[in-house]
A and B are shown apart, each in its own frame.
Chain A
Amino acid sequence: MSASAGRLTVCVVYPDLLGTYGDGGNGLILARRAGWRGVDVDLVQAPSDRPLPDADLYTIGGGEDGPQVRAATTLAEEGTLVRRVAEGAVVLGVCAGFQLIGRSFPDASDRPQEGLGLLDVTTRKGSGARAVGELVATPVGDSPRTGRGDPLPRLTGFENHGGVSTVGPGSRPLAAVTRGVGNGGGDGTEGAWSGRVLGTYLHGPVLARNTALADLLLGWALAPAGAPVGTVAELEPLDDADEIGLRSERLEAVDVAGTVGWRSVVDRMRSWR
């Protein structure tokens, strides 16, 4: 572990506005996984009525249309997040949080709102039904690499969004959808990333099921000061038996549901009273 790995501030951005889908869990997971490795970590819940604190790693969760616009406007006006990203901070945006760190996203009346532009991603309203259900995506050549240069393992989570996102040339897709909808623009991509900023439609929360992604974000945040973007600090492995169990159970459930379509029917019948 690098010398600068001694301290880390993890900031959950505006949980009062963007916390609809349990995504506050991502901040907790990052803080615990750093703490278990001996890092002196501060986990800060940053409400929207106060200046955003300086942090090394920011998580931005999902939320409803109105609060999403309010969060984007407030973050743009007060400027800390954009400045900290320029200084090398790491950002994880999920669902509404993913959309608002892109270039633009639609409000409740489908008017485009300006995002923070941290990712080259444009989101518009989808024409069909909301994307709701288990989402599995496999990292591809463009996906970020772990500290050892390996691709991330398959990503698993739950998606629930009406937006369709397009990744522009300034960012790269996070992974390729193997089950579910993801970005939904027809190119089969899910999420986006560039530099140390990463956005995804996966919640659940995403880091509970994908510890490799959690450790990648921590590795970026704990890289030595001045190291080139993309440097990943090496972290000692943890006993992730619980997470591995959950991961395999979820991936297996999706595989089974994919081949045997009656599972949801049985499920529905069970819920009849």
Chain B
Amino acid sequence: MTIRPATRPDAVGGLRASVAVSAVSAVNRVSRSLGRGSGTVAGGRAGLAIDPRLLAVLASGRRVALVSGTNGKTTTTRLLAAAVAGADPASVVSNDTGANMPAGHVAALAGARHAPVAVLEVDEGYLGRLVDEAHPEVIVLLNLSRDQLDRIAEVRMLVDRWRSALGRLRAPRPGMPATVVVANADDPMVAYAAGTAPEVRWVGAGQVWHEDAVGCPACGGRIVFTDDGRWACDRCEFSRPVVDADVVGDELVLADGSRHPVRIALPGQFNRANAGMAAVAAQVLLEVMGGHGPDGGPPALDLALGRLAGVTDVAGRFSTITRSGRPVRLLLAKNPAGWTAIFDLLDETGATTAPVVLSVNARTADGLDTSWLWDVPFERLAGRTVVATGDRRLDLAVRLRYADIDHTVVDGPLAALDHALACSVDGVTTDFLGNYTAFADLRRAL
């Protein structure tokens, strides 16, 4: 499909696209008035039903950045949007509600027709479609590990799909610059997928979860990790790429040796890694957009790092609320890698006896299968007051029993939180950790 650059969908897509855009906002209004959330997905679906090319039409004429991966998508998208927008939030449109499939992209884009930049979080399974239809300037690839296996099948199938999608970037449209892929060099699955892309900035962003990356995606050999996070296949030549930037503690260290502080308001090493990836991607976009000197370089990078430092929470995640006079931190994690990273965060930032509420659902958006709970190292919660809740609190209870963790099962997220708060002491923050819809349930209940 050839899309001429334009900012108005009716100029490029004709009457059909114009009707489709109206449908998006009409359905969204109806959906909102019926109380079905923000209605972003419903409107986008309606628009795409009327005009299947609507995503391409709405994306054309903008600078587009895509963010995908198993964990950290929403946070990194938020950080990247902040880094690019600076003092002008209206200049960037983003699907910041987490609706990360094409219907969500269409809804977001239709809602901000004149924003020159789009920063889009993309579900791993839809990266290929977004690459083909949105013609991104930059693509951020964070990590790939097991998540929602009932829906998107297996990690290696995803890697193969990413690989072929990124390979298509080798034939860019005439007159357009090549898309830059910003990829996590510490994840062999990401490294293999990005290997087909014409231009890659490799970032050493770390990887807490290696269990899905032991079999070499290139040859079926064995990936061997060393303690410093480097890795190589024991059979073929596939190994960790030489990085352009490395996230080391709270600094981003470039290949030229320069060090740039990553001082963010969000907690946890994985968020500093997300910030490092976002900053490198923002640098690419800011340079393409101009105004940062001929060589771009550190000034754009430091500008980005300064801007994203101001992000304090991401759709409620990492935020701290007060209930019954005591602080409660709200955390979201969806899969073994995410929960493991959050346990790191708990150890890093809290008292090791602080109460924690665990809430797990298994609705469509979460994945229907709870087997992943057995890959989460709940043993690490020893010494804490643990309360289990959510639709699948009984699955949690059995898992905690075999992890030898004393726990209480409470029906309902608020009741569970209050139970934990009753066990807390002054000055200690209680953590609430939920998976996708469990987190949303608590936010609605508060």
Chain A, range 19-52, C-beta contacts under 8 Å to B: 19-25, 28-29, 32, 48-49
Known: A22-B372, A29-B402. A270 touches B437 (CB 8 A): yes
Stretch of A63-71, A75-83, A220-228 on the interface side? A63-71
Known: A25-B371, A25-B374. 5 other contacts (CB 8 A): A130-B153, A132-B150, A133-B368, A205-B374, A272-B41
Contacts of B42 in A (CB 8 A): 272
Known: A20-B149, A271-B364. A204 touches B215 (CB 8 A): no
Known: A19-B375, A64-B156, A249-B394. A271 touches B363 (CB 8 A): yes
Query: Contact: A24 with B374, CB < 8 Å?
Result: yes
Q: Does A87 make an interface contact (CB < 8 A)? A: no
Residue from the list A17, A160, A208, A267 in contact with B399, Cβ < 8 A: A208
Closest B residue to A67 by beta carbon equals B215
Q: How far apart are the CA atoms of A267 and B370 in the complex, in Å? A: 16
Binding site for A on B (CB under 8 A): 36-38, 40-42, 97-99, 104, 146, 149-150, 153-157, 211-212, 214-215, 220, 222, 234, 363-366, 368-375, 394-395, 397-399, 401-402, 404, 437, 440
Contacts of A70 in B (CB 8 A): 215, 220
Q: Does A148 make an interface contact (CB < 8 A)? A: no
Contacts of B154 in A (CB 8 A): 20, 64-65
- Some 21 contacts from A to B, beta carbons below 8 A apart, are A17-B214, A22-B373, A23-B374, A24-B374, A24-B375, A25-B399, A32-B402, A64-B154, A65-B154, A66-B156, A130-B153, A133-B150, A204-B369, A204-B370, A264-B364, A268-B364, A272-B36, A272-B41, A273-B41, A273-B99, A273-B440
Q: How far apart are the CA atoms of A28 and B374 in the complex, in Å? A: 9
Contacts of A269 in B (CB 8 A): 36
Q: Does A246 make an interface contact (CB < 8 A)? A: yes
Q: How far apart are the CA atoms of A67 and B153 in the complex, in Å? A: 15
Q: How far apart are the CA atoms of A29 and B373 in the complex, in Å? A: 13
Least CB distance from B233 to A in Å reads 12
Contacts of A48 in B (CB 8 A): 222
Closest A residue to B440 by beta carbon equals A273
Q: Does A261 make an interface contact (CB < 8 A)? A: no
Contacts of A24 in B (CB 8 A): 374-375
Query: Contact: A208 with B146, CB < 8 Å?
Result: no
Least CB distance from A198 to B in Å reads 18
Chain A, range 121-145, C-beta contacts under 8 Å to B: 130, 132-134
Query: Contact: B37 with A267, CB < 8 Å?
Result: no
Give how many A residues have a beta carbon under 8 Å from the other chain's beta carbons. Answer: 45
Among B98, B211, B374, the most chain A Cβ lie within 10 Å of the Cβ of: B374
Closest B residue to A24 by beta carbon equals B374
Chain A, range 223-273, C-beta contacts under 8 Å to B: 242-243, 245-246, 249, 264, 267-273
Contacts of B234 in A (CB 8 A): 49
Residue from the list A19, A64, A66, A158 in contact with B369, Cβ < 8 A: A158
Q: What is the 8 Å Cβ interface bit string for chain A, positions 145-183, against chain B (1 contact, 0 not)?
A: 000000000000010100000000000000000000000
Least CB distance from A125 to B in Å reads 14
Q: How far apart are the CA atoms of A204 and B98 in the complex, in Å? A: 28
Contacts of B146 in A (CB 8 A): 20
Least CB distance from B55 to A in Å reads 18
Q: Does A203 make an interface contact (CB < 8 A)? A: yes
Q: Does A16 make an interface contact (CB < 8 A)? A: yes
Closest B residue to A264 by beta carbon equals B364
Closest A residue to B215 by beta carbon equals A67
Query: Contact: B371 with A21, CB < 8 Å?
Result: yes
Known: A64-B154, A272-B37, A273-B98. A158 touches B371 (CB 8 A): yes
Query: Contact: B371 with A23, CB < 8 Å?
Result: yes
Known: A24-B374, A242-B401. A271 touches B437 (CB 8 A): yes
Residue from the list B38, B371, B373, B375 in contact with A273, Cβ < 8 A: B38
Least CB distance from B28 to A in Å reads 11
Contacts of A16 in B (CB 8 A): 211, 214-215, 222
Contacts of A28 in B (CB 8 A): 374, 402
Least CB distance from A250 to B in Å reads 8
Query: Contact: B398 with A49, CB < 8 Å?
Result: no
Contacts of A22 in B (CB 8 A): 371-375
Query: Contact: B437 with A204, CB < 8 Å?
Result: no
Query: Contact: A270 with B363, CB < 8 Å?
Result: yes
Closest A residue to B153 by beta carbon equals A130
Closest B residue to A21 by beta carbon equals B371
Known: A20-B154, A246-B398, A273-B40. A66 touches B374 (CB 8 A): no
Chain A, range 198-214, C-beta contacts under 8 Å to B: 203-205, 208-209
Known: A29-B402, A66-B156. A245 touches B36 (CB 8 A): no
Query: Contact: A246 with B368, CB < 8 Å?
Result: no
Q: How far apart are the CA atoms of A133 and B371 in the complex, in Å? A: 12
Contacts of B363 in A (CB 8 A): 267, 270-271
Least CB distance from A49 to B in Å reads 6
